[in-house]
Amino acid sequence: MSTVICPGSFDPITKGHLDIIVRASKLFSRVIVLVSKNPQKTTSFSEQERVEMIRAVTGDLPGVEVDCYHGLLADYARQVGAIAVVKGLRAVSDFEYEFQQSLANKKLNPELETIFLNTNSKYMYLSSSIVKQIAAFGGDIADFVPPAIVQPIKTRLSKGE
């Protein structure tokens, strides 16, 4: 059984994230979607809310699990027996950051590989930040996030919580 990790803050999960998860689930028998804490980001949704949203949109995908972790990704990968980290790339700027992260993870866990999947072109512009901004101004986010989580996102962000 090949285990990989799709890590991110997922604040909130977008159709672009989901596309990467679905594609990874076709390549590997076990995909752990890992809600991780990025100390450089302020989130709009709690970890538990993000885990619940991800479970709501990945529940029908065989072999996909959702977890959260507060430590180093390299350590978590070792704990769960993951062979790789799967990351989506939208642009060259994503690559620079993700490449740096992959080198650090490799140094901390020499057995861990990083696999980059190009984002589907229809999601190249999409980010959680864009979704949050559109929702905060009452815009329609239905094209950007899975249907099951449109309303919870709109409810939270339109209130400015």
- CATH number, domain at 15? 3.40.50.620
Is a pLDDT exceeding 70 seen at residue 115?
Answer: yes
For residue 39, give both structure tokens. Answer: 């100390």
Is residue 147 in a domain?
Answer: no
Specify whether 156 is catalytic.
no
Residue 33 pLDDT > 80, yes or no? yes
Q: Indicate if 25 belongs to the active site.
A: no
Q: Which of 133, 66, 80, 136 is nearest to 109 (CA)?
A: 80
Asked whether residue 49 is domain-assigned, the answer is: yes
Share of the chain above pLDDT 70, in %: 98
Binding site feature residues for substrate: 9, 41, 73, 87
Please report whether residue 97 resides in a domain.
Answer: yes
Q: What is the pLDDT of residue 37?
A: 82
41 pLDDT band (50/70/90 cuts)? confident
Q: Which residues are annotated as a binding site for ATP?
A: 9-10, 17, 88-90, 98, 123-129
Whether residue 7 lies inside any domain: the answer is yes
What Cα–Cα distance (Å) separates residue 40 from each residue in 9, 25, 82?
11, 29, 25
Residue 8 lies in a domain: yes
Is pLDDT at 133 greater than 90 in this prediction?
Answer: yes
Give yes or no: 70 in active site: no
Q: Please provide residue 32's backbone torsions phi and psi, each rounded to the nearest 5 degrees.
A: -100, 115
Q: Given this model, what pLDDT does residue 159 score?
A: 59
Q: Please say if the pLDDT value at position 161 is more than 90.
A: no
- Residue 41: inside a domain, yes or no? yes
> Exactly one of 78, 90, 106, 156 is catalytic; which is it?
90
Instruction: Name the domain count of the chain.
Output: 1
Residue 158 in this model has a pLDDT that exceeds 90? no
Helix (H) or strand (E) holding 6: strand 3-8
Structural domain including 62 reads 3-125
- Asked if residue 135 belongs to a domain, the reply is no
30 is catalytic: no
Q: Does any domain span residue 28?
A: yes
Average pLDDT over every residue of 115-137: 94
Given the residues 26, 37, 41, 107, the one annotated as active site: 41
Q: What is the pTM of this model?
A: 0.94
